[in-house]
Amino acid sequence: MKSPTPPKKSSILPPDKESWITKNPFEEFKTFAAPTPDLPLDQIVQSTEAVMDRIRRGYEKLLEEEAKELVWMVQYNTIIKAYEVAEKYVREVDYTAEDIEDFCFALENTQRIPYLIPGPAGVYISALCNYAMEEEIVLKLSELKTEINLIGFRLSKGKRLMIEGDTGDFTGIGLEGGELVIEGNSKNWTGAGMRGGKILIKKNIGLHTGEWMMGGEIYVGGRVRGLGNIVEGKVYERDKLVYPGKVRYPNLYY
């Protein structure tokens, strides 16, 4: 049986031992413990991280809804639907152009974002660009190992998106009057279905360029590998008008 009161510990210590216990051996450092001030850097980094978390969560939800099996087929309907979902999440976040660039690099960091599916990622980045506060967005993506597809989707009038680096397929599709500048190369189906605006590719461009484009202009600083079936609009290759004018068959190889 336990006693109701615990035995009292003796509090009497020899005088020399008492002083020995109370003395902090690191007393000398105590006087010099400089307070660590909260720098504005801490707040900036913290808020940047918080925004990035929200952007990342939006992308993960988009994948959950649109790419359940981690497979995503590029079709007209799937793009429209994915964009609508992306819009829904993007509207809830307050971010800047730098956050979009950081997100592009975070996509390649598998520890932070487990799945990079180029289609939904491109749609999501396009939605981020379209809903950003800035009218001019510069994304420095030249060190990105992955070429992002569908970038510049539905870029609206008054917006200017400049990409430093190369882009993948379906760049600037469905452009709605914005200006899209690619400092590098772009792959196939660039400007497909664009309704207005301007796409400027500094280097080369792939096949099916301007497929079903309804208006606007595409300027290519390098070579055009092949044109698509263009309804209306203009395509320039090295300042020379290649469509309309000289008849060119779809996907004619130069």
Partner 1 sequence: MEEQHYQSIIEEIWPKLRRKHLYPEIPMPKVKGIPDPEQGEGEEGEGVGLEMKQKQMTINGAFVSQMKDKMPEKRVIEALLDHGITHYTFCPWDFHTHLRLYAEAKKVVGDKELAKQMSNYFIDVIADTHCVRKRFTEIPELHRNLKKGTIEEVIAFLYQKIWGIDLGIPPSKMSVKGHADIVRRLARIPYLDRSRWGESIRKFARSLKPLLVEEQKQQGSKGGKGEHNPQGEDYLNHYSNEEIDQGLRDYARQTMVLSEFKDVVEDFSDELKGAGYGMEGGMGRGQGSPIDADILFYMKLAENYSIPIKKVPLEEKGSLHPHSHSPWEIGSPFQDVDIWTSFGKIMPGITQVWTKREGKGRGKMEGTPDCLIAIDSSGSMINPRKSLSYAVLGAACATNAYLQNGSKVAIYNFSDAPMGGKDILNYTDQREDIYRVLCKYFGGGTALDLEDLIPLTQGKKNLDLFIITDMKITNLEALIGFFGQIQNRVTAVHIGDNPYAARFEKAVEKRKNISIYTVKRKEDIPHIVLGRIRDYFNPTHIKKS
List interacting residues with partner 1 (CB under 8 A): 29, 32, 34, 36-37, 39-41, 44-45, 48, 98, 102, 105, 109, 138, 140, 143
Q: Tell me the C-alpha to C-alpha distance, in Å, between residue 90 and each of 35, 84, 129, 202.
A: 40, 10, 10, 29
Whichever of 93 and 138 has its CB closer to partner 1, that residue is 138
Smallest distance from partner 1 to CB 100, Å: 12
Whichever of 90 and 139 has its CB closer to partner 1, that residue is 139
Smallest distance from partner 1 to CB 110, Å: 13
Residue 44 belongs to what H/E stretch? helix 40-66
Cα 99 to Cα 84: distance, rounded to the nearest angstrom: 21
Smallest distance from partner 1 to CB 1, Å: 52
Smallest distance from partner 1 to CB 24, Å: 16
> Which residue(s) pair with 241 in the sheet?
236
Smallest distance from partner 1 to CB 15, Å: 31
Whichever of 164 and 232 has its CB closer to partner 1, that residue is 164
Whichever of 16 and 143 has its CB closer to partner 1, that residue is 143
Cα 2 to Cα 13: distance, rounded to the nearest angstrom: 28
Q: Tell me the C-alpha to C-alpha distance, in Å, between residue 239 and each of 162, 182, 243.
A: 20, 16, 12
Which residues 6+ apart lie within 8 Å of 17 measured at CB? none
Instruction: Retrieve residue 43's tokens.
Output: 């707040």
Whichever of 141 and 151 has its CB closer to partner 1, that residue is 141
Whichever of 84 and 136 has its CB closer to partner 1, that residue is 136
Q: Give first-to-last CA distance, the chain, whole Å.
A: 99
Q: Tell me the C-alpha to C-alpha distance, in Å, between residue 111 and each of 173, 197, 239.
A: 31, 38, 44
Smallest distance from partner 1 to CB 173, Å: 27
Smallest distance from partner 1 to CB 49, Å: 8
Smallest CA-to-CA distance from 59 within 4, 7, 5, 102 is with: 102
Whichever of 10 and 36 has its CB closer to partner 1, that residue is 36
> Which residue(s) pair with 220 in the sheet?
201, 237
Smallest CA-to-CA distance from 117 within 154, 52, 176, 168 is with: 168
